[in-house]
Structure 1
Amino acid sequence: MSPRRRHLLLAPAALALPARLRAQGTWPSRPVRVIVPYAASGGTDILARALGEALRPTLPQPFVVENRAGAAGVVGSEAVARAEPDGHTLLVVVSTHVMNRYHLPSMPYDAVRDFTPIAMLTRNTMVLVAGANQPFDSLRAMIDYAKRNPGRVGTGSTEALSSFIGQELARRAGVDMPDVAYRSGGQLMNDIVAGHLPTGWTSTVSAAPHMQTGRVRILAVSTAQRSAFFPDVPTAAEQGVAEFDLSGWVAMLAPPRMDPALAASIGATVQRVFDDAAFQQRLVALGVERDFRPAPALLEAMQRDDRIWAAAAQAGHIRSQQ
């Protein structure tokens, strides 16, 4: 075979390969928008900004966090679902991203199929917080007070998971605790501190900055094990609510149809930050539970959650908003 003939046969593959490599090698070629579909100052926003700061020295372009709150995270998530899959628009969401289809009357996307999984970042243990001026200092005391005062102990939430946890606790305890919706954990905590809200379920990240003020108590954690950040706080199960074990996660997603090699490259870049000892110390200081898992494990977790929430909705434990 002549050299010229060999060149012509190899040309298509030779042209395709450099294009794919260029797509990865030049990423990011401009600032990366990291959309957090919740209000500023909440736990997810704090984590995303910490990650962006940690990535800045290692990348030629910055990660710019953009808060696009609305409709329980749907507004910002829909923007990412419609974005170009070139790696310059990413999404950081909590696990209610999957739960929303059973909580909201309609959805403009499929939470699993219409996104490219990048990585699970952290575990999202929820804590039940109350102001120090409230007439109860434990979960048991709160339940007793709520039984004597039906409907007067509202419980704040910021999205579908914390709302479900609050209402599931009330259902199991046999009390009426109206759900009070907030746009972010920061806003919820401000009202807890000010005494405007009796109790609320929020992340350890949102609660941690307020624990040194003496104006906030944590009454319980949502998981079967105590939190390493608040080891003295008993679980709900320890306080009489049997088998109570609910938590979420925070993950990074990308637009659909992203090149698998580019998605893997972004995931590996993020993993290097999460494997760094200094960043892990930063997470501990923020009250964040590191739980990094690559894309296949994230997809598995999303599919598992979808099955769990479908069963809960069928049992009537999740009611769709009208």
Structure 2
Amino acid sequence: MIRRRALWAAPVLLAAPALAQPAWPQRPVRLIVPYAAGGGTDILARALAEAMRPHLPHPIVVENRAGAAGVIGSEVVARAEPDGHTLMAVVSTHIMNSHVLSSVPYDPIRDFTPVAMLTRNTMVLAASHTLPFADIPGLVAFSRSHPTRLSSGSTEALSSFIGQELARRIGAEIPDVQYRAGSQLMTDIVAGNLPLGWTSTASATPHMTTGRAKIIAVSTATRTPFFPDVKTVQEQGIPDFDLSGWVAMFGPKGMPDVVTARLNALIERAFNEETFRARLAALGIEPDLRAPAGLLEALQRENRIWAAAAAAGHLPKQ
């Protein structure tokens, strides 16, 4: 009887170490931002890492790995060990890239573990102070009388698509000018080197005190609380214009559920802290916190939208 009990217990004892989950984190966590420093996503990532620091035994270190519309940094995460020590914060073009780039070395949904939707990116149309108009009707009139004077800056596929979609809807030729980050785009607008540019509220807000840039429209169906007096594109005569982005956190495919849950709880804790929420408001960032299931649902929905837009020829191939 004793021998039988010992044999029965042996598999349980052998399995126990395999079931044990190591504490997380065991070392500093890399949070990769696959865009240049100073843009809206970088600003948010650093603010969130700072807010989470008091509740972790090791810091979250933000690392910028810019290039190829976010693909270079994202590939680093896709190939990383799924132990929760390498994460990334990306914008919604993470999904869009597979429909506009000729080659992406990963699947934007299957090769990553969704952690949390963080914020909504209301895109704003910033304009140089040198332009004689301050709204969409003025832009339309100016584009017709000066057909070669305007160009529109963008930092990734979404802002590029928004700019070209607006140009298409108003019947204007407004060439797209690519930038690596919203901070660089806004610097050129303030300097008068770039007439227009679509960027996030977070990238635009710090430059509004200069008096050398203005916001003439927002991309969503509702106004943004950061520029409440600025009308939407819809309000200015372009029906059904409603486009926005987001920032979300991911890990590599196969990350343990316990780590994802721990991360999600820490992020939620940070977002509930008044100091952090006040900082987001000061930076022009709109919270839109969603759990992994909600993020995955948004990813799948947008993948269908961009697939349809690509099939219709409305997404430029790069």
Q: How far apart are 1:289 and its partner, in Å?
A: 0.3
1:128 match: 125
Q: Distance in 1 between matches of 2:8 and 2:278?
A: 55
3-state SS, counterpart of residue 254 of structure 2: coil
Give the superposition deviation at 1:261.
2.0
Aligned residue identity for 1:16: A
Superimposed CA distance per residue, residues 94-120 of structure 1 (whole angstroms, 9 cap, x where no aligned partner): 000000011111111111111110000
Contact 1:131 1:215 in 2 (8 A): yes
How far residue 152 of structure 1 moved from its aligned partner, in angstroms, is 2.1
Cα RMSD (Å) of the superposition? 1.2
Instruction: Judge conservation of contact 1:151–1:178 (CA < 8 Å) in 2.
Output: no
- Equivalent residues, number: 316
Moved over 3 A (4+): 1-7
In the alignment, structure 1 residue 284 sits paired with structure 2 residue 250:
no
Residue 8 of structure 1 corresponds to: 10
What residue is the counterpart of 2:144 in the other structure? 147
Aligned partner of 2:63 in structure 1 is 66
Give the counterpart letter for 1:267 in structure 2.
N
Q: What amino acid is aligned across from residue 97 of structure 1 in structure 2? A: H
Distance in 1 (CA, whole Å) between partners of 2:88 and 2:313 is 30
CA contact (8 A) 1:91 1:254 kept: yes
Letter in 2 for 1:182: Y
User: What TM-score comes out, normalization by structure 1 length?
Assistant: 0.96
2:82 match: 85
CA distance in 1, matches of 2:71, 2:167: 27
Structure 2 CA distance for aligned equivalents of residues 271 and 44 of structure 1: 18
Unaligned runs of 5+ residues in structure 1 are: none
Question: Secondary structure of 1:312's match?
Answer: helix
Q: Is it true that 1:57 corresponds to 2:54 in the alignment?
A: yes
Aligned match for 2:41, one of 33, 41, 44: 44
Q: CA deviation at 1:5?
A: 4.2
Matches within 5 A, 1:10-25: 10-18=12-20, 20=21, 22=22
TM-score (norm 2): 0.97
User: Could you tell me the percent identity over the aligned residues?
Assistant: 62
Structure 1 distance, partners of 2:36, 2:214, is 24
CA distance in 2, matches of 1:44, 1:171: 28
* Aligned amino acid, residue 190 of structure 1: T
Give matches, 1:1-322, under 5 Å.
Answer: 2=2, 4-5=6-7, 7-18=9-20, 20=21, 22=22, 26-321=23-318
**Paired residue secondary structure (1:29):** coil
Unaligned runs of 5+ in 2: none
* 1:173 CA displacement: 0.8
- 1:266-299, CA deviations, whole angstroms, 9 ceiling, x for partnerless residues? 2222121112222111111111000000001101
